[in-house]
Structure 1
Amino acid sequence: MNQSIISHTRLLIILSGTVAFGAFAIDMYLPALPTMATELGATSTQLQLTLSIFFTGFCVGMLIYGPLSDHFGRRKLLLSGILLFAVTSAACMFAVNTHQLLILRGFQALGCGACVVMARAASRDIFPPAQLHSMMSKMSLVTMMAPLLAPLIGAVSLMLAGWRSIFGVLTSIALVAFYFVYRYIPETLTPDTDRRLHLGNVLRTYGQLLASKKNITLMLCMACAMSGMFAFIGGAPFVYTQVLGYSELEFALLFGSNIVGMSLITSLNLYLLKRFQASSLMTYQSGALLLAGVGLVTMRATGHIDYIVPLVILYVSHVNALCANGMASLLHLHHTNRAGSVSALAVSIQFGLAAVSTSLVATFSHSPASAMTGVMLLFGVMAFVCAVSQRKMS
C-alpha cells in the first residue's frame, strides 16, 4: 500500500481522536448525572450546569488557542491542550461538591477546546481543498465512535466503580492521545514570525470573519444544528430515565442508537457529495431537523411519548453530516494561515449556543420532556432558515 496513503490514514485517525475529546468529556458522564446529583447533594439543574460551564470554557479555549496556533503552529499547543485536559480530568475524580466540579470542568474544557480546534486546523493544513469535504465527512465517521462508546463506557464504569472512575478513564484516554500525537503528528503549519501577535490583530481577524454574511450564515447553521442536539444531550438523562423509565444501561444503549443513525447518514452524505453541492445537502439535512422537531413537540403535546426516541434518532442522525458539510465549506473559503481562527470561531459559536441550549433545558427542568423537545424544535427551525439562506449565497 502507498506509504502516503498509510500516513494520511494514520493522521486522519489520530486527529479524529483528538476531536473526539469533546464527545468523551460530554457524553461519558451523562448516565451518571442522577447518581452524581444524589452523592454530591445537588439538584438536577446544578448538575446540568456542569454541561453549560463546559461549553463556555470550551469556547474560550478555542478562541484563545485558534489565533495562537495560526501564529506559533499547531503541534506544541495541541500537546499542551491534551495535557491540561488530562490533569483536570484526574482532579475531577476528587471533587467533593458541585462548586469544585464546575471549576474543574471549566478548566478541563479549556484543554479540550485546544484539542478540537487544533485538529481541525491541522486537517486544513494537510489535506488539499478538493479533498476537504470528503475528509471532513470521513473524520466525522471516525469521531462518531466516541459518542457511541462514551455513554456505554460511562455506564459500565458507573456500575463497576462509581462515577469518579469515569474521570479516571478520561485521564487515561488523554494520556494515550498525548503519546500518539507526540510520536506521529508533525508540525503542519510554518509559524508566522513576520507578523506580531497581539490582541488587536486577533480581534481584527475575528471581526473580518464575522463581517462576512457567508461566514456567519454557515457558522450559525452549524451552531443551531449542534444546539438542538445538545438540548437532547442535556435533557436525555432525565427524560429517558425519569420520564420514559429506562435503566441507566438502557439509556446508554438508546443513546448509542443515535450514533448508528449518524453513521448511516454521514456515509450517505459521502456518496451524495459526488453528485450534489454541499449547500443543497445542508438544506435537506436541516429540513430533517425541522421535521423531527415538529414531530417531537407534537408527540409530547399529545402524550405519545413513546415516539420521542425514534424522532430523536431522526433529528440527531442528520446533525453530524450537516456540520461536516458546513465546516468543510467554511474552511474552503479561507487560507491555511487563518484555519485556526476560522475553526475556533465556528466551533466556539456552536458550543456557545449549545451552552444557551442546555441552560434553557435546565431552566425548565421541572418539565424535562417539554423543555428538551421545545428547544430542539426551536433550533431546528433556526438551522433550516440559515441553510436556506446560505444556499442562496452559493
Structure 2
Amino acid sequence: MPAATEAGQRDERGGSPLEVLLVFLKLGLSSFGGPIAHLGYFRNEFVVRRKWLDEQAYADLVALCQFLPGPASSQVGFSLGLMRAGYPGGLAAWTGFTLPSAIALVLFAYGASALTGPAGAGLLHGLKLVAVAIVAQAVWGMARSLCPDRERASIAAVAALIILFSGSSIAQLGAIALGAAAGFLLCRQAPAASSSHVAMPVSRTAGFVALAAFFVLLLGLPLLQGVTASPPLTVFDAFYRSGALVFGGGHVVLPLLREAFVTPGWVSDDAFLAGYGAAQAVPGPLFTFAAYLGTVASAAPHGIAGAALGLVGIFLPGILILLGTLPFWDSFRQRASAQATMRGVNAAVVGLLGAALYNPVWTSSVQSPQDFAIALVGFVLLTAWRAPPLVVVIVSALGGMALAMVK
C-alpha cells in the first residue's frame, strides 16, 4: 500500500518540461477571452481533466496571483508548470502559453503598415473601437466585483479623478498607494482565509533572491538608464516598470504602456490602439501586446529584437515577485490587514481603468455617432450575449471598414 501511494504521488505530481510545454501550447492556441476566462480554461484542464492539483489548492494559487502585480493568468500558468516539473516546467508553461499570441501580434505589426486606403484605414479604426468595448466590459465587470460597497466605490472614484487630472506615472503610483492606505483603514471586513496551502519547489533563499532582483531592477534600471542613456535599456525599463506596477490583470497595463510609449513619441496613439484591438483577436495573455509595441516602437531595438525585449521586460517582474512570494504566502495571506489593503488596491485599479476608458481609449476612438454605435454593439455582444472577443473583433473590424467605404 505505501508503495502504491508513493507511485500515485509521483504520477500526480511528477512530469516533464516537454509535457508541460505541449499542454500549455495547446492552451496558448485556444484560450480566448482574457485573464478570467484563462483561469477557467486552466481549472478545466488541470483540476478537472488532468488532476494535477485539487480545487482548494487551485483556488489558493489563483488568490495569490490575483494578490500580486503582474498578469494573473500567466502567473498561475507559470506556477502550475513549476509545481509539475520544477523551474524548467515553469519556463515551459510560460513559453507555450505566450508564444502563439506573441507571434501573431508581431505578424500584425509588420502587416499593419500594408493596410492602406479606405478599407485598411477602416479596419484599423474598427480595431481601435474594439478596445472601447473590451475596456468598458472590463471596467463594468471589475466594478461590480471589486467595488460592491460605498467605501471601495469611493476609492475607485478618487483614483479615477487623480488619473484624469494628472495622468502621469507618478499619479498612477499615487492612486494605487492611496488605495492601499484607504483599504487598510476602511476595508477590514475580510472573509476567513483558507487554511490549506499550495506546495511549491521554491526555497526561502530563492524567494529572497527573486524579491531582491525584482526591487533592484525596478529601482536600478532608471538610475542605470540615466548614466548610460542606452536606448535598449530605456525600452527594457519602460516594459519592466509597466509590468511591475500592474494590479488587476492585463487591461490595467493599458494606461501604463501608453504613458511609457505614446507620451515620449515612440508609438502613435492610432498605432497603439490598433495593436491593442488586435490583441483582443488572439488567444493567450494580453501582456503579449508588448511584442507588438516592441516591434513598432521607433526607439531601438525594434522589430523582432524589440518584440523579444518587450516580452521579457513585461513578464519578468511578475515572475520574480511570484517566486519571491511563494515561500511566504501561506502565513501572510491569513492576515486581515493584508486582505484589507489589497481590497483598496483593487478598488483603485478599477478607477485607474475607468480613467483609461475615457482617455485615451474613448477620446482617440469614438469620433462620431457611428463610431459609438459600433462600440456599443461590441459592448452588448460581450456583456449580454457573452460573445467571444474574437467575434467582437470581427464585427467591429467589418463595421469600421463599412463606415470607411461609404464616407
Taking structure 2 as the reference length, what is the TM-score of the superposition?
A: 0.30
Q: Which has the higher helix share?
A: 1
Which one has the largest radius of gyration?
A: 2
Taking structure 1 as the reference length, what is the TM-score of the superposition?
A: 0.31
